[in-house]
Structure 1
Amino acid sequence: MKKIVALLIAAGFSMSALAAETYNIDPSHTFSRFEYSHFGYSTQQSRFNNTTGKITLDRAAKTGSVDVVIDTKSVDTGNSVFNGHIQAEDFFDTAKFPTITYKSTKFNFDGDKLASVDGNLTIKGVTKPLTLTVTSFQCMPHPMLKKDACGANAVAKIKRTEFNAGKYAPYVGDDVSLSFAIESVKE
């Protein structure tokens, strides 16, 4: 009897492992954005043009993982001179820190819907916990690629001074709103 129970438990674990699916982030439809107050005059909005990574999702078990890499040299403020300024040591320091990473630690579901993702954000070698609030989430067959695909939008807030990027704070806002539009295609 113990052998049968052990076999059933092992089968359950292996079946749940089979239910997890891996998706590659589509860099042509994925953008990481940030915005902050510029001396109170306006809210400046910028983005990174190169975001890559993988998402593993088991909707039945309500688990998953996200591993995202953002190329800091792909920052796009809308102005090439300002792109160079924001890549300097006082802000992203892209020469020493060419990437920003986000690695999840837990997916949080509200029923069958992904509600948030807990994880760790690393900017300029500083890692802080960060929860992404998922504002939309959808998985379905991609009509053009004929493969399963998932997409999501998520938001969060950080303080840039906590990541050694606080030049001109508080005049240039310390609070930074992050938003992510992610599309991924099943391997």
Structure 2
Amino acid sequence: MNRIARLTAALLVSAAAASPALAAPQTYVVDGTHTFPSFSYSHFGLSTQLSKFDKTTGTVTLDKEAKTGAVDITIDMKSVNTGYETFNGHIQGEDFLDTAKYPTATFKSTKVSFDGDKPATIDGELTIKGVTKPVTLKVSHFVTMPHPMLKKDTIGANASTVIKRSEFNAGKFAPHVGDDVTITVSLEAIQN
């Protein structure tokens, strides 16, 4: 009888070792040196202006097996980079970003939808100038791989959405300066 009990225990241990471990959500920290939210808009119909923010922090949580995720991003609005120093100050003024009163913008996801094994859309709440609105980011590129230098699992993604800046109390000169603003996020995040 003792031999049967030992054989049964050995078989159970072998079966447990052979079955795949349950995947768990992984947390990735935004790499601020390779993550740049940008925004573009029509300037009097003459050209499309493109600007970015140089300082972004946050986390991405991903469970590949369960096909779930979460995104929590904070953008330093004072890091706006239009390519022209005078305009950087102008766009931080009260009529636009009002960074003295609202130094950050945030995006917090409420749902991540997958197409196969990759995120396709990310629904969430975008807060700019103290105004929170629902937005959907469309993911145009997504990859996970070991970082070639850091040897840690890394996420790379590009996603975009379109907002009306007037809905965030930043509508001065609209419609001559476009009210529709395309926000694009190029993101890299490294496993914590």
2:109 is the counterpart of 1:104: yes
Report 1:121-132 matches (<5 A): 121-132=126-137
1:179 aligned residue = 184
- Measure, in 1, the Cα distance between the counterparts of 2:78 and 2:55: 9
2:63 is the counterpart of 1:58: yes
Q: 1:68 aligns with which of 65, 68, 73?
A: 73
Query: Deviation per CA, 1:137-183, whole angstroms, max 9, x where unpaired?
Result: 00011110011101100010000000000000000000001100000
Q: What amino acid maps onto 1:115 in structure 2?
A: A
Task: Tell me the CA shift for residue 47 of structure 1.
Answer: 0.3
- Measure, in 1, the Cα distance between the counterparts of 2:118 and 2:185: 18
Q: What amino acid maps onto 1:43 in structure 2?
A: T
Q: 2:166 aligns with which of 145, 161, 165?
A: 161
Measured on the aligned residues, the alpha-carbon RMSD in Å equals 1.0
1:90 aligned residue = 95
Higher alpha-carbon Rg: 2
1:116 aligned residue = 121
Q: 2:154 aligns with which of 139, 149, 171?
A: 149
Q: 2:25 aligns with which of 15, 20, 44?
A: 20
Task: Tell me the CA shift for residue 186 of structure 1.
Answer: 0.2
- Measure, in 2, the Cα distance between the counterparts of 1:128 and 1:61: 28
Please give the secondary structure, in 2, of the residue aligned with 1:85. Answer: helix
TM-score scaled by length of structure 1 = 0.90
Task: Tell me the CA shift for residue 111 of structure 1.
Answer: 1.2
- Measure, in 1, the Cα distance between the counterparts of 2:44 and 2:167: 19
- Measure, in 2, the Cα distance between the counterparts of 1:186 and 1:116: 21
- Measure, in 1, the Cα distance between the counterparts of 2:119 and 2:91: 33
Report 1:29-44 matches (<5 A): 29-44=34-49
Query: Deviation per CA, 1:39-76, whole angstroms, max 9, x where unpaired?
Result: 01111000000011001100100111100000000000
Gaps of 5+ in 1: 1-14
Please give the secondary structure, in 2, of the residue aligned with 1:29. Answer: coil
Please give the secondary structure, in 2, of the residue aligned with 1:150. Answer: strand
Q: 1:138 aligns with which of 139, 143, 147?
A: 143
Paired positions, count = 172
Please give the secondary structure, in 2, of the residue aligned with 1:88. Answer: coil
1:8 aligned residue = none
TM-score scaled by length of structure 2 = 0.88
Task: Tell me the CA shift for residue 113 of structure 1.
Answer: 1.6
1:12 aligned residue = none
Please give the secondary structure, in 1, of the residue aligned with 2:161. Answer: strand
